[in-house]
A and B are shown apart, each in its own frame.
Chain A
Amino acid sequence: RKEVEQDPGPFNVPEGATVAFNCTYSNSASQSFFWYRQDCRKEPKLLMSVYSSGNEDGRFTAQLNRASQYISLLIRDSKLSDSATYLCAVNENTGFQKLVFGTGTRLLVSP
């Protein structure tokens, strides 16, 4: 089993839709979690950290479920510019950011 797993998609949604991605992790000792966004042929960029209490940033909401070992990303009111690949990343907390990444979920938002 992979350490961090994501549905590769693509998720095809119309503008304005709400879409959610999940990411499961296998190491129960993992402590910090992240969502990165990667545009085609570009480097990943941090979208959100995922705190244990859940957090929201505008149209984006991230949640952590430790019991079931998954994190989620909810995007409301999807925009064309949200089209990208969303990578989840998990850190086992060795004191530095030694991240394990999922393979990414591709989102396509259409007019």
Chain B
Amino acid sequence: NAGVTQTPKFQVLKTGQSMTLQCAQDMNHEYMSWYRQDPGMGLRLIHYSVGAGITDQGEVPNGYNVSRSTTEDFPLRLLSAAPSQTSVYFCASSQLAGVLPTYVEQYFGPGTRLTVT
């Protein structure tokens, strides 16, 4: 199994450009999420999805859009790139757990390093 895959690995954008970061998982996980990681800020949740057709905002959603048309794919779209969006982006997935507290493992993709100039 490939697990969680992300493309591209690296990207440089100019301010105002748009692009889509791709994320796919082959583990049939219902839950998928996008994080950004910045020095001194840790991992911050951008958007998440609990299944196909269902998405919601995380802690830092502004400037990003998501959709979930299939279980496998969860692309993240930057509408108009800004230098403040320079970061490392991680996609993650996990099962949903019916019994609380939940202790399912969250699997991360290898990340996309984005620079906006």
State which residues 2-55 of B face A: CB under 8 Å: 30-31, 33, 35, 40-45, 48, 50
Q: 1/0 per residue B94-114: CB within 8 Å of A?
A: 101110111111101111000
Are A98's CB and B48's CB within 8 A?
yes
Q: Which residues of A contact B58 (CB under 8 A)?
A: 98
Chain A residues with Cβ under 8 A from B33's Cβ?
A: 97-98
B102 and A96 contact, CB distance less than 8 A: yes
- Whether B97 pairs with A96 at a CB distance below 8 angstroms is yes
Are B43 and A101 in contact, with the CB atoms below 8 A?
Answer: yes
Q: Is A32 an interface position by the 8 A CB rule?
A: yes
Say yes or no: A43-B101 contact (C-beta < 8 A), given A87-B42, A103-B40, A103-B41.
no
Check if A97 sits within 8 Å of B101, measured CB to CB: no
Given A97-B31, A101-B43, A103-B40, A46 contacting B102 (CB threshold 8 A):
no
CB contact list, B71-117 vs A, under 8 A: 90, 94, 96-98, 100-106, 108-111
Contact across chains for A93 and B42 when beta carbons are under 8 A apart = no
Range, interface on chain B: 20 to 34
Q: In the complex, which residues of chain A have a beta carbon less than 8 angstroms from the beta carbon of B101?
A: 31-32, 91, 93
Digit string of A41-77 for contact with B (CB within 8 Å is 1, else 0)? 0111110010100000000000000000000000000
> Can you list 12 contacts pairing A with B, beta carbon distance less than 8 Å?
A4-B42, A8-B40, A43-B108, A45-B108, A89-B106, A93-B101, A95-B100, A95-B102, A96-B97, A99-B106, A100-B45, A101-B44
Q: Which 4 A-B pairs have the closest CB atoms?
A: A103-B42, A31-B101, A43-B108, A101-B43
